[in-house]
């Protein structure tokens, strides 16, 4: 065992023991996409699957961070330890977008049983960071009862979050045309629990009705009927009901076998993503110049891209 | 040559000759992800690269479709033939979301030199449809001078559209908090021409100023300074200037060599996507059962996902 390996083994042990600084360092390590990710993943095996992962999504302005913060308060009151992973799917060039949200979470920063972390990056393949599932694994192994994965609800990223979560909470607010937006973004299919926040405002009832109509026309593979709750997160109103509905959904997942099938599907996606990343690394490392010359030929109309792909695959294999 | 092959060869020839019905059938063929895609791609080789592809993105409500329609009118007045590809990145379950937009395009449906097509699907890897670049190739080979690729601006999809386009037009409107949204979604980096639509409304000047400030702080790899124009698309106001700016950007791309490098990069991404799809097909076909059993082991904590990915790759190779 090399000194570096011993360091990683030690770091993982400390993170599993729940030591905050080691958790932070380990997430930074998996975020850096270092060669040690494989080693970390190996060391975490056997320590996973205990946390209830909950995805929170919503368009900008629905009060997502306030709701997350209120939910943390409620879950803590119920005796649960909570980790929050705030994922920003925006461009890497425009970092710091989640700063305002972090400030809203400040009341929890002195609670040793709450861990808050932002990740601001987009992934290789044009989606969420490749590191996000690995960060979730670290938090899971560290023993948090609940992991809240929060993201700005922009198109694809909320679908990806729902694939990482056991339970997906979708937050809407009145007067944002969200009834229509819900249908467009496909969130009707991914939400397990819906929350109409800012429900003291005009139009909350309309938003709920539109949502209920939309849900009644949406086919689900399981037999869960997604509930809708009204909240005013700034005052903590309705947040207890959200926590109840989330618990009920988890109980339903356990009873129906849905938890196991969701998690197996998630593992399959993760294995696939790793396999693809391995192949892409192979292309970058050994076929970089080849790719450039093939792409130039394709651009000049001398080669079709399928034949070019064959050449790349032959080279990598 | 099998009868089916002869059919495809014939279809591609007719599409290249500009026959509308054959263009439509050929796009449907590439959309269906049939095994004939490779053959189509081969037949299109040598007929590509003539069209100027322009991406149009903007949040819901900025007047994207009205702007697209007005731009089509302007380009037609300049004697150019135009194809419009409207890509809906939302869930496949919620089809028909672009219906309203199509209605707005109706004035062009009787013009034989305008071709309009909607594609409503999301791709394998969680982004735009895999078929979108292939549909663009069909329209390019069919000889349209300009191909407008329009999409709802939700996060990742607009970045993907910008990767398909020679020139990216980003549309904003006043009073939508777009100054901040622009920064979050990374559109400052991808826009080559910016349009503040609904510029007769309050706040248009503020939106322009915010945008200009944002752009002044944004680093670009080329030395193009993205212009901002004010429009009222419903009245056609300012659309001529948009068309001018788009032309100027194209001229800049030609002069600077940027067109070639953008297109080579695009070809490389396409080759890579095909290579990945090939490998994934291999995984589905030959490693489907294996994947299920590996994913079950990973879920049970008996195997780490990297070792599982190795097993999948060994099997596929």
Q: Answer yes or no: do A283 and B292 touch at CB < 8 A.
A: no
Q: Are residues A80 and A139 both part of a single domain?
A: yes
Closest residue, chain A, to B43 (C-alpha)? A304
Question: In chain A, what residues touch B313 (CB-CB under 8 Å)?
Answer: 275, 278-279
Closest residue, chain A, to B269 (C-alpha)? A295
Which among A231, A256, A281 is the end of a domain? A256
Q: Give the alpha-carbon dihedral of A13, A18, A24, A30, to 10 degrees.
A: 50
Integer Cα distance of B184 and A153 in angstroms: 12
The dihedral of CA B278, B279, B282, B288: what is its sign? Answer: negative
Q: Answer yes or no: do A177 and B60 touch at CB < 8 A.
A: yes
Q: Are residues B204 and B95 both part of a single domain?
A: yes
pLDDT tens by residue, chain A, 317 residues: 666 777 999 999 999 999 999 999 999 888 876 778 889 999 999 999 999 999 998 877 788 889 999 999 999 999 999 999 988 655 443 333 444 455 566 778 778 899 998 876 554 443 456 788 899 999 999 999 999 998 865 555 666 777 889 999 999 888 765 455 555 556 777 899 999 999 999 999 998 998 888 888 877 878 899 999 999 999 999 999 999 999 999 999 999 999 999 999 999 988 888 888 887 777 777 777 888 999 999 999 999 999 999 998 888 77
Smallest Cα distance from B80 to chain A, Å: 23
Q: Answer yes or no: do B156 and A122 touch at CB < 8 A.
A: yes
Reading the block at residue A11, the tokens are 């770091």
Smallest Cα distance from A36 to chain B, Å: 11
Query: Higher pLDDT residue, A293 or B92?
Result: A293
Residue A295 lies in a domain: yes
Q: How many CB atoms lie within 10 A of CB A223?
A: 8
DSSP classification of residue B1:
-
Residue A230 lies in a domain: yes
Which among A212, A231, A256 is the end of a domain? A256
Q: Are residues A232 and A189 both part of a single domain?
A: yes
The dihedral of CA B195, B200, B203, B206: what is its sign? Answer: positive
The pLDDT value given to residue B152 = 67
Q: Are residues A130 and A66 both part of a single domain?
A: yes
Smallest Cα distance from B175 to chain A, Å: 13
CATH number, domain at B199? 3.40.50.300
Q: Are residues B15 and B150 both part of a single domain?
A: no
Q: How many CB atoms lie within 10 A of CB B34?
A: 13
Residue A153 lies in a domain: yes
Q: Are residues A16 and A65 both part of a single domain?
A: no
Q: Are residues B57 and B205 both part of a single domain?
A: yes
The parent domain of residue B209 ranges over 49-256
Reading the block at residue B308, the tokens are 């599982």
Q: Answer yes or no: do B155 and A156 touch at CB < 8 A.
A: yes
Q: Are residues B308 and B220 both part of a single domain?
A: no
ipTM: 0.81
Smallest Cα distance from A107 to chain B, Å: 25
Integer Cα distance of B108 and B100 in angstroms: 15
Q: What is the pLDDT of residues B179-229, one digit of tens each?
A: 555 555 567 778 999 999 999 999 999 989 988 888 888 778 788 999 999
Q: Are residues B140 and B233 both part of a single domain?
A: yes
Looking at chain A, how many residues does it have?
317
Task: Nearest by CB to A155, from B155, B267, B283: name it.
Answer: B155
Closest residue, chain A, to B93 (C-alpha)? A186
Question: In chain B, what residues touch A159 (CB-CB under 8 Å)?
Answer: 91, 126
Q: What count of CB pairs under 8 Å joins A to B?
A: 235
Q: Answer yes or no: do A306 and B260 touch at CB < 8 A.
A: no
Name the pTM for this structure: 0.73
Question: In chain B, what residues touch A183 (CB-CB under 8 Å)?
Answer: 90, 94, 97
Question: In chain B, what residues touch A178 (CB-CB under 8 Å)?
Answer: none
Question: In chain B, what residues touch A49 (CB-CB under 8 Å)?
Answer: 299, 301
Q: What is the pLDDT of residues A237-266, one digit of tens each?
A: 999 999 999 999 999 999 999 999 999 999
Q: Are residues B80 and B25 both part of a single domain?
A: no
With a cut of 60, say whether residue B96 has pLDDT above it. no
The rounded mean pLDDT for chain B is 84
Question: In chain B, what residues touch A123 (CB-CB under 8 Å)?
Answer: none
Q: Are residues A296 and A157 both part of a single domain?
A: no
Q: Are residues B128 and B232 both part of a single domain?
A: yes
Smallest Cα distance from A203 to chain B, Å: 19
Query: Higher pLDDT residue, A119 or B77?
Result: B77
* Residues B164/B88, Cβ–Cβ less than 8 Å: no
Residue B262 lies in a domain: no
Q: What is the largest CA-CA distance in chain B?
A: 66
Residue A261 lies in a domain: no
Angle, CA of A101, A107 and A108, to the nearest 5°: 90
Kindly report the backbone phi and psi dihedral angles of residue A193, in degrees, each rounded to the nearest multiple of 5, phi listed first: -135, 135
Residue B261 lies in a domain: no
How many domains is chain B built from?
Answer: 3
Question: In chain A, what residues touch B296 (CB-CB under 8 Å)?
Answer: 264, 267
The pLDDT value given to residue B89 = 58
With a cut of 60, say whether residue B124 has pLDDT above it. no
Q: How many CB atoms lie within 10 A of CB B109?
A: 10
With a cut of 90, say whether residue B238 has pLDDT above it. yes
E strands along B125-249, which residues? Answer: 146-152, 167-172, 193-196, 228-230
Residue B107 lies in a domain: yes
The pLDDT value given to residue A90 = 53
Q: Answer yes or no: do A156 and B159 touch at CB < 8 A.
A: no
Q: Give B304's pLDDT tier (boundaries 50, 70, 90).
A: very high
């Amino acid at each position: 065992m090399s000194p570096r390996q011993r360091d990683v083994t030690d770091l993982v042990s400390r993170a599993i023991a729940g030591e905050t600084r080691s958790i932070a360092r380990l997430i930074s390590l998996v975020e850096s996409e270092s060669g040690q990710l494989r080693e970390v993943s190996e060391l975490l095996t056997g320590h996973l699957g205990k946390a209830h992962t909950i995805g929170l999504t919503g368009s900008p302005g629905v009060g997502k961070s306030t709701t997350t913060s209120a939910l943390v308060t409620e879950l803590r009151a119920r005796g649960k330890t909570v980790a929050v992973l705030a994922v920003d799917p925006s461009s890497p060039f425009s970092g710091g977008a989640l700063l305002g949200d972090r400030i809203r979470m400040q009341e929890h920063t002195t609670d040793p049983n709450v861990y808050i972390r932002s990740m601001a990056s987009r992934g290789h393949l044009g989606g969420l960071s490749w590191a996000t599932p690995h960060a979730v694994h670290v938090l899971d192994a560290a023993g948090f009862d609940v992991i809240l994965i929060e993201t700005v609800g922009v198109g694809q990223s909320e679908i990806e979050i729902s694939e990482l979560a056991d339970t997906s909470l979708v937050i809407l607010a009145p007067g944002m045309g969200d009834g229509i937006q819900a249908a467009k973004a496909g969130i009707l299919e991914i939400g397990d629990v819906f929350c109409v926040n800012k429900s003291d405002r005009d139009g909350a009832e309309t938003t709920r009705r539109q949502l209920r109509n939309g849900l009644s026309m949406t086919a689900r593979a399981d037999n869960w009927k997604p509930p809708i709750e009204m909240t005013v997160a700034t005052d903590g109103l309705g947040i207890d009901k959200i926590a109840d509905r989330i618990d009920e959904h988890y109980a339903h997942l356990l009873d129906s076998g849905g938890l196991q099938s969701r998690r197996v599907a998630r593992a399959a996606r993760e294995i696939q993503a790793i396999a693809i990343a391995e192949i892409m690394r192979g292309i970058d490392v050994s076929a970089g110049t080849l790719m450039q010359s093939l792409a130039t030929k394709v651009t000049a109309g001398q080669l079709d891209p399928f034949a070019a792909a064959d050449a790349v695959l032959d080279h990598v294999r």
